Amino acid sequence: MTRTLPKGIFKRGSVYSLRYSVPTEIQSVVGKKEIIRSLGTTDLAEALANRSEVLAEIKANLFGEHQVRPAPTKRQQTGTTVRETAQRWLSESDGIKNATRHRYRRILERFEEFSGNTDVTKINRAMALQYIDHLKVTPSERTGKPLSHRSLSTHQICLASYWRVLEHWGLVDQDMKNPFSSLLRRLAGQSKKVDPRRKNLRPVTRDEAEALLSYIASNNRLKYQFEMYVTVRLLWVTGCRLGEIAGLHLHDIDDHGDHIRLSIREAKTEAGNRLVMIVGEDDCELLRGAIGRAKITEPSCPENKGILFPRLLRGGYDRYLSHYLGKALEKARKTLPDNDQWDMHSFRRSTVSALVNAGVAKEARNLAVGHSNSDDIGLSVYAKRGDLSEIVKITFEALNVELGGGLNASF
């Protein structure tokens, strides 16, 4: 006979747990639709006895701590206090999960309380150090134990990101070092934290680029199918950054018949502002079609008028054109095999590797991809994990000619 458990109680493994549905009106604040707490027992009678206490604790945390604040007014969003700038950041940020947004809101509220909702211009390194020391000696409200190193790291990451946003808005001294950086320095004898991210991303192969392009071309449900298709084609033949392609204006594109010139004006660095040329006949025709389409397409916002891809929505607190396009391309890329070995920036690695194999001089390579000529960025960074066998073969052929061939002494 199967026993029906009381509403909200279920088994997780052998231990009973309680599931509580968060009211709809505060789900956006809490960042969750339900909360689950262990009842700490494998006995149903004991679980029923513990239910009331655990439920009361959940409700006290929800309705006592997570107050739903009114949406900030336009006047508030232009303020410079911790509360006003934090609300502005979280309200303008796109692409953040509700759970992450809620976590950041709680962290910023905690810093706001510690700082007395000070003006952001008064935040300095001394205040940041005092705050992290305060966190280290303040027990967790949930467990009653000191915050773990992981929790402290989350606080530091959030506040360091918050400071970078303040810099972007011009609300703090641009020359001042981020006061929230390196707050959790490693102590003597402490093991270095292992970074799980791959550090050996390689150039994308032609087969992988073709597979990505085929996936995009055959998937008519993609919102930005046309923009994604054109972008991948241009990334392959130019070595541009994704943002440089997405941000192209029509007046930056000059058709010379046998080739098309792209003036990159808003690059990541000064050296990145350069001239790029499309020389393949098929790629030129593709770009001409995109230009014609852009002239008759209704832009998604007034700022997109005259843009190569006017349909793109701008995202992030800085409203980049590449924000949602990049997310769409990443989602498509992750459908392919071996997708953990390369990313969208690997198109740039492929370009440099090809130029190295073609014997193009360092200065010309750096000029094409938009790097300063002080260092050979190609070999040290982009082509380091590329297939350079062709240039190695040419080098040894030159060596063989210079030496006059192999030695002739008989054995």
pLDDT (tens digit per residue) in 79-106 = 889 999 999 888 877 667 778 888 899 9
pLDDT at 72: 47
> What are the angstrom distances between the C-alpha of 318 and each of 92, 167, 236, 322?
9, 12, 27, 11
306 — alpha (psi -120 to 50), left (phi > 0) or beta? left
C-alpha–C-alpha distance, residues 157 and 181, integer Å: 8
pLDDT in tens, 216-234: 999 999 999 999 999 999 9
What local confidence, expressed as pLDDT, does residue 382 receive?
Answer: 60
Tokens 């590797």 correspond to 353
pLDDT of residue 292: 94
Of 213, 358, 246, 230, nearest in space to 284 by CA: 230
pLDDT of residue 354: 84
pLDDT at 296: 93
pLDDT at position 8 is 79
Helix (H, G, I), strand (E, B) or coil at 15: strand
Which pLDDT score, from 0 to 100, does residue 370 have? 81
pLDDT of residue 76: 44
* Predicted pLDDT at 148: 85
Tell me if 356 sits within 8 A of 365, measured CB to CB.
yes
Which CATH number, 1.10.10.10, 3.40.190.10, 3.30.390.10, 1.10.443.10, labels domain 206-393? 1.10.443.10
Distance CA 250, CA 238 (A): 17
End-to-end CA gap in the chain: 90
Task: Look at residue 73 in the predicted model and tell me its pLDDT.
Answer: 47
Domain ranges of the chain: 9-65, 74-169, 206-393
Q: Are strands 9-12 and 253-255 parallel, antiparallel or unpaired?
A: unpaired
Q: What is the CA radius of gyration of the chain?
A: 28
**Residue 120, token pair as written in the block:** 């952001």
In the chain, which stretches have pLDDT less than 50? 1-2, 65-76
By CB atoms closer than 10 A (0-12, 13-18, 19+), residue 193 is exposed
User: What tens digit of pLDDT does each residue of 110-169 get?
Assistant: 999 999 999 999 999 999 999 999 998 888 877 888 888 888 888 999 999 899 889 888
How far is Cα 31 from Cα 22, in angstroms, rounded to an integer?
A: 9
Length of the chain: 411
Q: At 192, list the tokens.
A: 């270095």
